[in-house]
Amino acid sequence: MEKMTERMVREQLALAKQGGYLVEVHNLPGDDYFNVGFVVGIDPTFCLLISIDWDGKINGLIVIRISSIQSVIKGSDYLTTVSEKTKVAHRYHYFDIFSVQEFLDDHPEITSGNLLGNALQDAYAHQLPVVVGTQKYKGNDDFFGRIVQLDRIQLVLHYFNEHDLSSLWEYRVLLAQVDYLRFRGTQMATGQQIFKDIFPEE
């Protein structure tokens, strides 16, 4: 897949936001994994998507560093398939089981201004688990946990390893190194359950 210039990426994100249509956002090496969603916010550094999963339902929000995006695709057969699945999800009332759209309606300010800062403050203030992806690992590894410290320079995450739940681990991340941040939605809910049952002291 041909890599777009950052200007082209920004143009496609802006068009998707204005048009309200689904896009593929390719921000990781290779074509095996990419994000699908609706663009609801753009700032000078990041974009904010309502993330849609393979079953056609909302699985949360994701903030992605624009400079890490290789391409933005619209109108693909894959997107057509996902779009058809969203119709079924709406019909059977599981499109937005974690009320992400209601959250955005109640907090429209989260879609403007400093998008990464907004997402981090939301997660930190409400002690909500997040998934952090960094420039260092480029999607080969990300970190699922709860932010325990946050300032303008860095965050400190207490995260767990799904294959080793013997303890929590600590990871310090410079905000300048954050490539993407997943918050609200499915992973937030599963993370809350794991913290409640397995790490109640946290």
Residue 30 has pLDDT above 90, yes or no: no
Section 39-48 average pLDDT: 98
Say which amino acid occupies 125.
Answer: A
Residue 64 has pLDDT above 80, yes or no: yes
Determine how many CB atoms are found less than 10 A away from the CB of residue 190.
13
Section 45-71 average pLDDT: 97
pLDDT reported for residue 137? 63
pLDDT reported for residue 138? 63
Token pair for 158: 């207490």
Residue 28 has pLDDT above 90, yes or no: no
pLDDT reported for residue 154? 97
Alpha-carbon separation of residue 165 from 42, 49, 159, 162, 197 (angstroms):
37, 30, 10, 6, 11
Model pLDDT for residues 134-182, shown as the tens digit of each residue: 987 665 678 999 999 999 999 999 999 989 999 999 999 999 999 999 9
Task: Name the average pLDDT for the chain.
Answer: 94
Residue 67 Cα to chain centre, angstroms: 16
Section 186-197 average pLDDT: 94
Residue 192 has pLDDT above 90, yes or no: yes
User: What ranges in 20-152 are assigned the alpha helix state H?
Assistant: 77-91, 100-106, 115-126
Token pair for 21: 């249509």
Distance, CA of 128 to CA of 195 (rounded, Å): 10
At 1, the pLDDT band (50, 70, 90 cuts) reads low
Alpha-carbon separation of residue 166 from 6, 103, 162, 193 (angstroms):
42, 34, 10, 16
Planar angle of CA 3, 63, 105, nearest 5 degrees = 130
Residue 131 has pLDDT above 80, yes or no: yes
Section 66-74 average pLDDT: 96
Residue 88 has pLDDT above 70, yes or no: yes
What pTM did the predictor assign? 0.94
Q: Does residue 28 contact residue 140 with C-beta atoms inside 8 Å?
A: no
Say which amino acid occupies 188.
Answer: M
Section 113-138 average pLDDT: 93
Query: Any idea which fold 6-198 has?
Result: SH3 type barrels. (2.30.30)
pLDDT reported for residue 190? 94
Exposure b/e, 128-140, CB count within 10 A at least 16 = b: bbbbbbbeeeebe
Distance, CA of 116 to CA of 113 (rounded, Å): 9
pLDDT reported for residue 107? 97
Domain boundaries, the chain: 6-198
